Amino acid sequence: MRGRLIDLSIGMNRKQRITIEVDRDFREDFDRLREAELDVEIKKHRNRRSLSANAYFHVLVSKIAAERGGSEESTKEWLVCEYGALAKDQDGLTVGFKLPASVDVSTIYPYVKCFDTREESGKMFNCYLVYKQTHLMDTKEMARLIDGAIEQARELGIETDTPEQLAKYKDDWSKT
C-alpha cells in the first residue's frame, strides 16, 4: 500500500505518533487491526520495473547470448549476478547461504555468486550471495541491470538503442 507521512507528534506517554495518509480505503483493515499489536515498516516507495524494461533487457540478453555463444538463461544469470541487486531480508541484511561443495547450486537457485569456500569438520562448503530475480527489482535496480547489459552488448559490438531512446525508456520507467 502506498501513502504519505503527514505528521509526527509525541503523546503524553512520550511515545511518538505518526499520521499516514494512504491511497486506498483502509477502514475495514483499521477496524480489524485496531486493537492488535502490529509489526510496522515504513520505507520509501519504489516503482517496480516496467514490462517494457523487462522486454528490453531480454532483447539484450538474447543478442549477448547469440554473440557469446551461450544460452540465454546462462547469459541472464551472469548479467543478474554481475549487475543485479543483492537480495535483502526484512531487516536490510544481505541474503546468503552455504552448501556442501558437492552440491550443484544451480539446481537450487540460479542467481547466486560464490564468495568463499570454507572447510568445516573436514568438509568443504561454498558460500553464496543471493541476487534478486528481475521481476522483484524496482526501477532503479532494473535500470542498473540494463545499463550493465548495454555495456556488455557494446563491448561485443552489438548495436543498442541511442542515448536519447534510452533516456526516454528510463523516463517512462520512472513514471510507471
Q: Are 136 and 74 in contact (CB under 8 A)?
A: no
**Inside any domain, residue 99:** yes
Neighbours of 83 (CB within 10 A): 18
**Inside any domain, residue 34:** no
Cα angle 50, 52, 53 (rounded to 5 degrees) comes to 65
17-68, pLDDT tens digit by residue? 888 898 888 888 888 888 889 888 887 776 655 667 788 899 999 999 999 9
pTM of the model: 0.65
Neighbours of 152 (CB within 10 A): 22
Give residue 114's domain range.
86-131
The total number of structural domains in the chain stands at 1
**Inside any domain, residue 95:** yes
103-160, pLDDT tens digit by residue? 999 999 999 999 999 999 999 999 999 999 998 998 899 999 999 999 999 999 998 8
Beta-carbon contacts of 173 under 8 Å, excluding residues fewer than 6 positions away, are 47, 49, 50, 52, 53, 139, 142, 143
**Inside any domain, residue 122:** yes
